[in-house]
Structure 1
Amino acid sequence: MKMKMTMILLSSSMLLSLVSSSAESQAQEQQTLLKLKELWHDPSPLASWTASPIASSHCGWPEVTCHDDGSVSELHLYYKDIRYPIPQIVCDLSNLTFLDVGNNSIPGGFPTVLYSCTKLTYLDISQNYFVGPIPGDVDRLPGLSHLIVTGNNFSSDIPGSIVNLKNLRELSIGQNQFNGTYPEGIFGMSSLEVLSLAYNYLLLPSRMPSNLTMLKRVRSLGLTMMNLLGDIPDSIGDMFALEYLDLGINNLTGQIPDSIFKLKNLTHLYLWGNSLSGTIPRVVESLNLAVIDLSMNNLIGTIPEDFGKLQRLSNLVLMYNNLSGQIPESVGRIPSLTDVRLFYNQFSGMLPPDFGRYSALTRFEVAMNNFTGGLPENLCFNGKLLGLAAFGNNFTGSLPRSLGNCSSLLQVMINDNNFSGNVPEGLWSSPNLLILKLNDNILTGDLPDVFSPSLTHIIISNNRFSGSIPGGFSSAKSLQVLQASHNLLNGTIPVELTDLPQLNSLSLGGNQISGEIPTNILSWNSLGALNLSHNQISGLIPEALASLSVLTELDLSENKLSGIIPPQLGQIKFTFLNLSDNFLTGSIPSYFENGAYENSFLNNPGLCTSDRSVKLRLCNAEPTSWRRIRLSYLALIITVTVASLALASLLVLYMICTFRKKNSVFNPTWKLTPFHKLSFTESDILPGLHEHNVIGSGGSGKVYRVPVSQSSEVVAVKKICNSRKLEHRLEKEFLAEVEILGRIRHKNIVKLMCCISCENVKYLVYEYMANRSLDRWLHKKRMPSSVVTDRRVLLDWPQRLHIAIGAARGLSYMHHDCCPPIIHRDIKSSNVLIDSDFDAKIADFGLARMLLVHGEAATMSTVAGSFGYMAPEYGRTHRVNEKIDVYSFGVILLELTTGKEPNDTDDDVCLAEWAWQHVQEDKPIVDALDPDLREESNLREMVSVFKLAATTQQ
């Protein structure tokens, strides 16, 4: 009994000792956490980490998870505003297995201090500021099952030792700056379930480029290096455990290996944004696939029939390829399908009729293909559809009635088709609808009385809508754009239409509208463009228009307006103004008496001007009787002239016929579209398009200098052609340039005078710039040998500064004064032209795009622009906003101040990076300036411009 009592006392003593030891250990871990917080300078999200006499209290902190014994097992420190390195002390938590410090601002190199965390299995250091290489001994963390380092600035090679992590199930190393090769065995890691290498610029080991200099320059811009790199190895088919594979934006070429679609566990496949070619593998055995994203490649062929077997597929994303043929009908019956994006391909035929019937579609985008027939009736059968984009096809018939009951819709863009009939009534008032684009169809019927209050864009131009303009537009309080031109609308402009405070663009031109322009328009304080042309509107031009502070485009032409032009309108600096073909009287405001508005007042017999350079009657002209006498003499002269011309007409016709036989360019199908008043026709331009007049060439064709035979004028003609049908890319460039330049007016933007086109050839006719492009003046090797002398004579600093200011004004107009704003995307010194007065003019808008919503970045399908001028973030994200032009303009400023070319520096980097390094290394800026311009009087301005340019690169 005594022995039994002794054993009980010993057991109790040991238990108390263990409890005491455990409490002491827990208290130490609490102190470790508090010390960790202190070393991180007490970030506010960790405010709950406070000392407590209860040893295990830290186990209740939101970011901390403990084992049963009270020791720390997991730290969840995602997005906690940590701005300092990971200290060694973290490994004093001896049982730590899970560490997530993602999405903070932690600096430094790869945290090798974690090598002491011997039990660590999960490490997430993504979205921080880590730099340098991943160390070659990273396999000193042998227990890792998850390694996530995405979104940092790691560089150099991915170390080969990473394949020694035999327990690794997830490897996510994308969105870094790696500039070497993948380890040979990375595609043989059979234990991997997740492999994410997206947004890297690495080489696969199978193929290396020979031009390493070019490779470095391309990487310095953060661009995808198309057609330089390797294929996806067939060995990827041995990664049997793989469930998630992301190789997007990764320089991949060649074909998609058949083995990739034989991975039985694969659920997510991302191969987007590469240069993959060939067809999609026909046999698909990965029946667990939920996401297939093969977008933005060069794939051809059809969608495999086996895709219809993928009953778990939710996302089918194949946009921006060259795929063709019909969509397999079985794809439309996949029960889990929610996201279908097939736009910008060559698909044809009718869409499978069951799309939306068996699955809850949320996104259906099939725009810019060759589809025919109608849209599937059940797209919104399950009431989840958010977006419908079907524009740019050959669809016919009526719109699906189900769209009228689809309250989930946010966007409907079905423009540029051949839809007919009435619009489902409920579509106009769909409660969540933001954008409705129905333009360029054959739709009919009256407009409704009620519109969705959430609508921001209603674009219904070029249809056959009829009836009066409803007052119900006032229910769309969020409306920013209303374009209803070229329909059959009649009646008057309802006063309710003026009660739209966010409206910035209103176009009702080309209808049968009558009555007067409403005068109570003060609520249009956001209106930047107003087009009421080609109607039957009468009465006076309201003075209230002058109070619209952001109005820059006004077209009231071809109406029945009368009275004077309100003098207050002269206070507005219009970028486009057209009051032609009315019955206006009196003197035009003095501000408009200049060449920029020479075509703004035509065919108003009662208008006059005090400026002889304006093509209107002078306000103090001679009396009517004298004018009649002079007109009689003029009529006699005209009669004699016409008779003389009639006698010569046969000779002219004979010469024209002879010329047609000798020169096939004189084609009777030529169409001339003027944008300014012209002193020539196509017959004056076309004969001058021969090799002797070629002054340059670009990606789309040659540029000619053509003297106009009937005057002393000289024009520049840009040719876009192909042997058969105009290529799709060149057609897009042509339409972009015509659309933009044809409607803008600015001193520092090159004037597009007209376009001349037929089926196979198109010409853009510009004002001629006598001093050609800026790069020819800055860089000696681009100048003809007969012109190159001393560069200071060619282009001194005051001239360079004048050119820089002019180009800046042109860019500022595009970005801030145009509605919508224009993004050029290819600003470079060769696209800055110089006239005889050395004024700069921005040219070549073939790559320009307009942002539909001001301040909101658009995403482009392909990277466009020129090496050395392109912003790195544009190369990575394809996001388009004003910043990419500002970056390019900064490169031009560097050219102007240094005399260097954008890809020609001594350090084998682009000019932008070279300049930034020069500033960062605190070198004298004077040393970076053009040695031919380092005069004392220039230095202050040149240093300021250089600094400004360098800051635009970051």
Structure 2
Amino acid sequence: MTKLTPTCLHVLPSYSILFFLLFIGHTYSQLYDQEHAALLKIKQYLQNPPFLSHWTPTNTSHCTWSEINCTSDSVTGISFVNTNITQTIPPFICDLKNLTHIEFQYNYIPGEFPKALYNCSKLEYLDLSQNYFVGKIPDDIDRMGSLRYIDLGANNFSGDIPASIGRLQELRSLRLYQCPFNGSFPPEIGNLSNLEELKLSLNKKLPPSKLPSNFTQLKKLKVLEITESNLIGGIPEMIGEMVGLEYLDLSLNGLNGKIPIGLFTLKNLRILYLYKNRLSGEIPGVIEALNLTEIDLSDNNLTGKIPEEFGKLEKLTGLSLSTNQLSGEIPESMGRLPALIDFGVFINNLSGPLPPDFGRNLILETFQVASNNFTGRLPEQLCSSGKLVGVVAFDNNLSGELPKTLGNCNSLQTVMIYNNEFSGNIPSGLWTSLNLTTLLIRENKFTGELPDKLSGKLSLLDISYNQFSGKIPSGVSSWRNLVVFEASHNMISGTIPRELTALPMLTTLLLDQNQLTGSLLSDIVSWKSLTTLNLSMNLLFGEIPEEVGRLPHLTYLDLSENQFSGKIPSQIGHQRFTELNLSSNLLTGRIPSDLENSVYSRSFLNNSGLCTTTSMLNLNICGSGQQKASKGSSIAVALIISLVIVAFIVALLSSLLVIRAYRKRKQALDSTWKLTSFQRLSFTESNILSGLTENSVIGSGGSGKVYRIAINRSGDVVAVKKIWDNRKLDQKLENEFLAEVKILSSIRHSNIVKLLCCISDGNSKLLVYEYLENRSLDRWLHRKNRSSTMSGSVHHIVLDWPKRLHIAIGAAQGLCYMHHDCSPPIVHRDVKTSNVLLDSEFNAKIADFGLAKMLIKPGELATMSAVAGSFGYIAPEYAHTTRVNEKIDVYSFGVILLELTTGREANYGDEYSSLADWAWRHIQEGNSITDALDEEIREPCYLDEMCSVFRLGVICTGTLPSTRPSMKEVLQMLRQCCNPLVYGEKNVKGNYDVVPLLKNSKRERTLESD
């Protein structure tokens, strides 16, 4: 037997180490090959998408691939974010045995929750958000016991949130937002003792339910976000025990009761959003949460005073207490908060002076104190930081001169201080502030004269009901971007300068109740966008220029109580005014025939020289005062006339036999038809009935066919909508017919299709409209009418952006008139591109009112028996509740704006989504808006406008009706093509609605950051 020497004993362990290293190397090689093969298999399963073209079976380590993360040379993470994947999750993905991290968010992945992930035993992080998953979250999801982070938000998961989620004890973050769940939040979530983040927002289909009280047991929770999820009841009193809470957002729910005292004792709390609930009572006065940076308690029913303790929140950057019932004074210490940027307390019952130190040591950007009872002056140092963007202080009792520092504040964009007691001159620098877009100072006691120059960005100027004097300066021609100029009820004198007609964007001009003299210039024809002109109660004279009747969009004209003379130009009769007043002038002659309508019965009063051929206008009948023919007329002339008459009668009698037979045949056809006219007609029912042939059909819809019918030899045509199917008209179509007739016969607007008459018999209904040459908008946008023949060849006609914007403004004007100027207001219920018609100049007109609904009063919710409308245009609340108000039209119009900017159809998407959903998703994903725009018209010079209108479309299609702007606001935004949340429009009282500068909506924040 061989004896082992010490040397041999030393060598044996070396061989063992070598063997061990060889074994480890072989194992690593096997693992590498296995993972490499699994990744290439995943690529093949996903159908070799271009973004994985670098995944090749070469010697390059897969750990270098950007989508892969490795730890110790083994795959532990895989990330496919926003890569347009349309396949399901690869069922063999857990062949990657060491996976701890999976990201597949922002894709188009279908199917149910992938249970194959249960095989990933080490999985800690799972993000499947923003996809198309359907069905229930599995009841056995707790099998994924290692999960620390799970995000399933923005999918189509439905049913209940499983209670088994409460058994995922390792969870730090749970995100189940924006899904159509229809159960309540399981209280078992309160068992997740390690949870740090809980996001359950935007689950709008949940039934009304309370926040589970055991959620307050989540002591480590830092983020709690449950917005727009139908929460009711009170905030649990024990919320003060959630000591780790840093971010709390329970906004946009139905929470009621008082704010728990313990909420303000959370020392780590930084963000507190409770806006748009039904909370009441006083704001707790004990404030220990000194780390608060943002507080938003707006749109509740809070009472009492603003706590003095708020003045200790030295880290506070934003405070919104607006739209409550708070009273008392603002604590003076709040004016000295060093970090405050946004301050909003509008629409409350606050009183007393404003803290004088506001702005002195701050970086203040927005200061909104409107609609309260404040007295005294505005703080002198509001703009000491040079960053102030907006001052909104209207509807108070503020007085004195404006702070001179506002004259040096070039950051200012909006100043709304109307309906106060301010006096003195406007600081000279304020007129020309570099970024000023809105200056509303009406209903004060300001004096002085108008400046030669204004801010180059100023679009809205309202100085009405003040004491301004002097002339309108010749430098007014430099006010190039002015859209609205209101200067009513001042002491402005002199003539209307020719330079005023050089403002191309002007839509509203109010100069009534001043001391203007001279004539109205014919140069006004340059006001192509003007819709409203009021020059009443001045000293103007001369003839009314015929150019007034050539302003294409003018719908409101008031020239009353002046000294205008001469005839009313016939061109004015061609306009369709919603308001016309030429009373109390020196006008003479006959009223234009187109204006001989009872609608204008009070439009011509106190003009003794005017006459009319009808008794509807309370004026003299033309010719009634003329003397009879002289009795001394020649007998010879009378005899000649008599002979001519006899000869004519003989000739007439000779033709009666021929005509009589024709009339009898025709009477059999027409005797049962009844024509009701709404305009002066140049045709009879016979002209219409004879043209109802198949060759004249130009379209059809759910209620009948549409015909193009020539009514005379001159080539004039009308459009006829026939509701007739050779059987007795059913009640639904009868109701639609009556609705359309009732509405269209009572409204007149240049952007609403003109209904000329209706013709009916026992079982047939005809509506006769003006014919619009370019037919419907959808034919132009979606290649249904783009082909045109020229020189024998076919080419495509594309609407360029200026035309599209022009169409959007026109359609908005029509809807704005329906919503805000009709009494009662009108909701269309079926706004879509096929119901926007275009004339030869591409002026838009709203059509098809068969589904319209007359509301009893503005803003009222009317419940319809069934949902009507077209997929892609139907507002969410209408589809779910059938409740109707004006905001459903705003939603539909927002879809049209998205169609105009993207070129896509309203039903773009799949069976679960539409263009509106796609556009919001595009924003959420952080994509550039430019990428969403129609490539056919995407030119650099129009990009800013197109992006602004796209954003407006997304805002109009907001899920909650309360977050959508009114049509008045939409119209103003379109005219501006700028930030839609800078200022509001006039309300029924003649004042402007509050549109806060400090946004609440996350949707708005996302848009702003894009």
Contact 1:807/1:841 (CA < 8 Å) preserved in 2?
A: no
Aligned in 2, Cα 1:233/1:113: closer, same or farther, shift over 3 Å? farther
Q: Is 1:845 equivalent to 2:850 in the alignment?
A: no
Amino acid at match of 2:425: N
User: Offset at 1:476?
Assistant: 3.2
Q: Percent identity?
A: 45
Query: Highest CA radius of gyration, 1 or 2?
Result: 2
Whole-Å separation in 2 of the counterparts to 1:622 and 1:371: 63
Equivalent residues of 1:481, 1:503 under 8 A apart: yes
CA distance in 2, matches of 1:526, 1:877: 39
1:73 matched to 2:77? The reply is yes
Structure-1 separation of matches of 2:419 and 2:191: 49
Correspondence for 1:802 among 718, 737, 741: 737
Gaps of 5+ in 2: 1-6, 214-226, 630-676, 680-726, 753-809, 829-849, 868-873, 894-910, 913-959, 962-1010
Q: Which amino acid in the other structure matches residue 800 of structure 1?
A: N
Aligned to 2:819: 823
Query: For residue 823 of structure 1, what is the amino acid of its counterpart?
Result: H
Q: Secondary structure at the match of 2:739?
A: helix
Match of 1:51 among 43, 56, 62: 56
> Given the superposition, is the C-alpha separation of residues 127 and 496 from structure 1 closer, same or farther in structure 2, using an over 3 Å criterion?
farther
The one-character-per-residue Cα deviations of 1:435-459 (angstroms, maximum 9, x if unpaired) are: 2211122222111111122222112
Match of 1:321 in 2: 324
Q: SS where residue 446 of structure 1 aligns?
A: coil
Alignment counterpart, residue 434 of structure 1, candidates 437, 441, 445:
437
Contact 2:38–2:93, Cα closer than 8 Å, also in 1: no
Aligned to 2:425: 422
SS in 1 for 2:253: coil
- Post-superposition CA distance 1:180-226 (Å, at most 9, x none): 33333545755443333434445445899xxxxxxxxxxxxx99879
Answer yes or no: is the 8 Å Cα contact 2:97–2:120 preserved in 1. Answer: yes
Aligned partner (choices 884, 890, 897) of residue 888 of structure 2 = 884
Within the alignment, does 1:408 sit opposite 2:411 as a pair? yes
CA contact (8 A) 1:827 1:888 kept: no
5 Å-filtered alignment, 1:89-104, equals 89-104=92-107
**Structure-to-structure mapping, 1:132-281, within 5 angstroms:** 132-186=135-189, 189=192, 191-200=194-203, 201-205=206-210, 229-281=232-284
Q: For the Cα contact (< 8 Å) 1:30–1:56, is it kept in 2? A: no
CA distance in 2, matches of 1:865, 1:244: 38
Other-structure match for 1:706: none
Report the TM-score, using the length of structure 2 for normalisation: 0.61
1:353-380 deviation line (CA, Å, top 9, x unaligned): 2222222122222221222222222222
Q: C-alpha offsets along residues 894-944 of structure 1, whole Å, 9 cap, x if unaligned?
A: xxxxxxxxxxxxxxxxxxxxxx99xxxxxxxxxxxxxxxxxxxxxxxxxxx
Distance in 1 between residues matched to 2:737 and 2:864, nearest whole Å: 25
Change (3 A) 1:271 1:185: farther
Distance across 1 between alignment mates of 2:851 and 2:886: 23
Matched, 1:291 2:294: yes
Show the counterpart of 1:578.
Answer: 581
User: Within the alignment, does 1:532 sit opposite 2:541 as a pair?
Assistant: no
Structure 2 contact 818–825 (Cα < 8 Å) conserved: no
In 2 relative to 1, CA 7–841 (structure 1 residues): closer, same or farther, beyond 3 Å?
A: closer
Q: 2:337 aligns with which of 323, 334, 338?
A: 334
Equivalent position of 1:380 in the other structure: 383
Which amino acid in 2 is paired with 1:804?
Answer: A
Confirm or deny: 8 A CA contact 1:120 1:144 kept in the other structure.
Answer: yes
1:34 lines up with 2:37 in the alignment: no
Is the CA contact (8 Å cut-off) linking 2:46 and 2:87 kept in structure 1?
no
**Secondary structure of 2:166's aligned partner:** helix
| Cα distance change of structure 1 residues 5 and 839 upon mapping to structure 2, 3 Å threshold | closer
| Per-residue deviation, residues 793-818 of structure 1 (Å, max 9, x unmatched) | 99955641322313664798597555
Cα contact 1:823–1:880 (8 A) shared by 2:
no
CA 884–353 in structure 1, closer or farther in 2 if over 3 Å, else same: same
Indicate how the Cα distance of structure 1 residues 602 and 344 shifts in structure 2: closer, same or farther if over 3 A, else same. Answer: same
Report the equivalent of 2:610. 607
Give 1:238 shift: 2.7
Q: CA deviation at 1:381?
A: 1.7
Letter in 2 for 1:484: A
The 8 Å contact of residues 406 and 427 in structure 1, kept in 2 or not, is answered as yes
Partner of 2:900: none
Deviates more, 1:260-269 or 1:171-180: 171-180
What amino acid is the match of 2:56? Answer: A
**How many residues get paired?**
689
After superposition, the Cα gap between the structure-2 partners of 1:244 and 1:808, relative to the gap in structure 1 and judged at 3 Å, is farther
Per-residue CA deviations over 1:13-67 (Å, capped at 9, x if unaligned) read: 567646644653563354255246428xx4x7x4765536353367453x55444
After superposition, the C-alpha distances for 1:409-454 in whole angstroms (9 at most, x for unaligned) are: 2222122222212222222222222222111222221111111222
Task: Give per-residue Cα distances to partners, 1:577-633, cap 9 Å, x unaligned.
Answer: 11111112222211000101111111122222222332222221324899xxxxxxx
Distance across 2 between alignment mates of 1:369 and 1:169: 45
Residue 556 of structure 2 is matched in structure 1 by 553
Once residues 203 and 291 of structure 1 are traced to their aligned partners in structure 2, the CA distance between those partners, rounded to angstroms, is: 28
SS in 1 for 2:165: helix
Q: How many Å apart are 1:826 and its aligned residue?
A: 8.2
8 Å Cα contact 2:323/2:346 also seen in 1: yes
Matched, 1:312 2:308: no
State the SS of the aligned residue for 1:276. Answer: strand
Cα 1:815–1:171 shift into 2, 3 Å: same
Asked if 1:361 corresponds to 2:364, the answer is yes
Q: In 2, Cα distance between the equivalents of 1:514 and 1:155?
A: 70
CA contact (8 A) 1:34 1:49 kept: no
Structure 2 partner of 1:477: 480
Deviation at 1:83, TM superposition (A): 4.4
- The farther-off stretch of 548-557 and 514-523 is 514-523
Contact 1:488 1:512 in 2 (8 A): yes
- The 3-state SS of whatever aligns with 2:36 is helix
Q: Work out whether residues 875 and 891 of structure 2, in 8 Å CA contact, stay in contact via their aligned partners in 1.
A: no
* Cα distance in 1, alignment partners of residues 524 and 498 from structure 2: 9
2:393 aligned partner: 390
CA–CA separation in structure 2 for the residues paired with 1:793 and 1:430: 67
Contact 2:55 2:62 in 1 (8 A): no
Structure possessing the higher relative contact order (Cα contacts under 8 Å, 6 or more residues apart): 1
Q: CA deviation at 1:840?
A: 9.6
* Compared CA separation, residues 116 and 360, structure 1 to 2 (3 A): farther
What is the distance in 1 between the residues matched to 2:742 and 2:171?
A: 54
- 1:318: how far off? 1.7
In structure 1, the residue matched to 2:975 is: none
Tell me how far 1:576 sits from its aligned partner: 1.0
Of 472, 487, 490, which residue of structure 2 is paired with 1:487?
490
User: For residues 9 and 840 of structure 1, what CA distance do their matches in structure 2 show?
Assistant: 87
**What is the letter of the counterpart of residue 405 of structure 1?**
N
Alpha-carbon distance in structure 1 between the residues aligned to 2:85 and 2:526:
48
- Identify which range, 311-320 or 813-822, moves more after superposition: 813-822
Structure 1 unaligned blocks of 5 or more: 209-221, 627-745, 749-791, 830-837, 849-863, 890-915, 918-952
